[in-house]
Structures are given as C-alpha cells and as structure tokens.
Homo-oligomer: A and B are copies of this chain.
Amino acid sequence: MPELEHKKAAESLVARLMEPCAHCETRHLSVCRAIEDPYIDQLASLVTSIDLTPRESMIAEGDSARHYFNITSGAVKVFKLLPDGRQQIIGFSLPGDFIGLAVKDAYGYSAEALVPSRVCRFDRNKLEGLLVRFPKMEHELRNQASDELAIAQDQMMLLGRKTAKERVASFLLQLSARAKRAGLSPNPIHLAMGRADIADFLGLTIETVSRTFTSLKKDGMIDLEPGNHVRLRVPRLQELSGDWY
C-alpha cells in the first residue's frame, strides 16, 4: 500500500474514533439526523460504540434502563419472555433503528444480536438532558415512537387475526420493504434470522413456519435460494397477506 493511502486510512480511522457521529454512515437513517453538524459533537460526547457477536445480549428485560441504543450495522432481535420460557419477538432492529423508547425505569424487553453487529449506546440521562437544547431531536424521537407504534399495531392485527400463510406472506413483504428503504435488495431478500426467530415473531412454531414456506414454494409464491435468500412473487403475496393494497 502506498504511504499516502496508508496515511489517509489511518486518519480516517482516527476520525471515526474521535468523532463517531460526524462520520457515522447511518446517521441519515436515524434520529441523529436531527442534530446539525456544528453541534454533532455534543451528541458524540455521550455515545459509546459497541460491537456485538451473534447471540450476544445487549439488553436484559428488567434491567434498569440507563441507556438508549442505535443500531449502526448488523441486525438485532428485541424480545420478551414469559416465566416458562415462551418467547415473543417484538421486532427485528436494523441499521438506523433506535431501541429504548418504550421504556420506564426498567427495560420491558431483552435484545440480542442476530449477526455481528455494531450499536451506539447513549447515556439515557445525558441524552434526555441534551433534548432540552435540541427540540428537533425530541420531535424526531416522538416521530420514531409514533412509527413504531403504527408498526406494532399492524403486528397486533397479524398476531390476532391472520392465518399462518398470511403471517408469513406479510412478514416477507415487510422484510422486502425494509430492505428497499435501507438500500438493499428488495427482491431476492436475505433472511438474517432462522426459522425459530421467525416463529417467535409470528406467533407460530418452527414447524409451522417451515411447512408454510414449502407450501408457498409449491404454490409458486416464493423460491428458496441458497444462503437464506428468498425470491418473492410480490403481487401474489400481497393478495395472500390479507392486507389492503
């Protein structure tokens, strides 16, 4: 590597370490976009970047809620457990997603990485303090909470009233739409999670999810491709999903 290139790379590394937010690649996707460049260091000063390995826990239900989190890369599952071990996945968080809004004193859910991931951890008290000076950020957080609320309501409809086929169809379309927004391939989509997690998200069992996938495949609605990729026949899945289009 030429020395100039080398030097540039080193400077860029230093910059990322010293000014994590200013050079954050997911800033434009996240609530952090509410804070303008001149002030961004105030945000950076209360942030810690954390790397997570698959299955590594990020939040444990019941812990006192001292931090907010923002996903910068990878994928995280957010879930609740019943005392007997039953699990319900509340959502899958992707780059740009904010975690910690639905919180009182203690976290009401757990969260752990599905794949190698990186998250920004904010000190909650300090961030709340910052919000007094940055009402735009406060507004952004409310919008984020509103969006999540609307998504949660769709999920209630899915869990309460849809059949297994409809749930899986909705799920696949939902992943496709999110991938599109994140600039990833919306049609052969990639599944970052296994059947067990899909099941715990859709309120089904692993076996039912698997059977539903093969059934959709037989009906020509999807194709299962290597590497956990799924090709979707979108219009027909939309019909099947039971939703309004």
Question: What residues of chain A have their CB less than 8 Å away from a CB belonging to chain B?
Answer: 62, 80, 82-84, 86-88, 90, 101-104, 108-109, 131-132, 135, 138-139, 141-142, 145-150, 152-157, 159-162, 200, 202-203, 242-244
On whether the beta carbons of A157 and B102 are closer than 8 Å, the reply is no
Q: Which of B131, B149, B200, B244 contacts A152 (CB 8 A)?
A: B149
> Which chain B residues lie closer than 8 Å to A203 at the CB level?
159-161
On whether the beta carbons of A101 and B156 are closer than 8 Å, the reply is no
Most B Cβ at <10 Å: residue of A102, A104, A108:
A102
Name the distance in Å between A65's Cβ and chain B's nearest Cβ: 11
Stoichiometry, as copies per complex, reads 2
CA distance A189 to B135 in the complex (A): 41
Q: Which residue of B lies closest to A62 (CB)?
A: B244
On whether the beta carbons of B82 and A243 are closer than 8 Å, the reply is yes
Known A-B contacts: A90-B156, A108-B150, A135-B135. Give 4 more (CB < 8 A).
A108-B153, A131-B139, A141-B142, A156-B159
| Interchain Cβ contacts under 8 Å between A and B, 30 examples | A62-B244, A80-B154, A80-B156, A82-B161, A82-B242, A82-B244, A83-B243, A83-B244, A86-B161, A87-B161, A88-B160, A90-B156, A101-B142, A101-B145, A102-B152, A103-B146, A104-B147, A108-B154, A109-B153, A135-B135, A138-B139, A141-B142, A142-B145, A145-B146, A149-B149, A152-B152, A156-B156, A159-B160, A159-B203, A160-B202
Most B Cβ at <10 Å: residue of A62, A142, A155, A243:
A142
Name the distance in Å between A168's Cβ and chain B's nearest Cβ: 14
Q: Which of B104, B138, B159, B162 contacts A138 (CB 8 A)?
A: B138
Name the distance in Å between A57's Cβ and chain B's nearest Cβ: 18
> Which chain B residues lie closer than 8 Å to A86 at the CB level?
161, 242
CA distance A103 to B145 in the complex (A): 10
On whether the beta carbons of A101 and B132 are closer than 8 Å, the reply is no
Name the distance in Å between A235's Cβ and chain B's nearest Cβ: 15
CA distance A94 to B135 in the complex (A): 29
On whether the beta carbons of B83 and A150 are closer than 8 Å, the reply is no
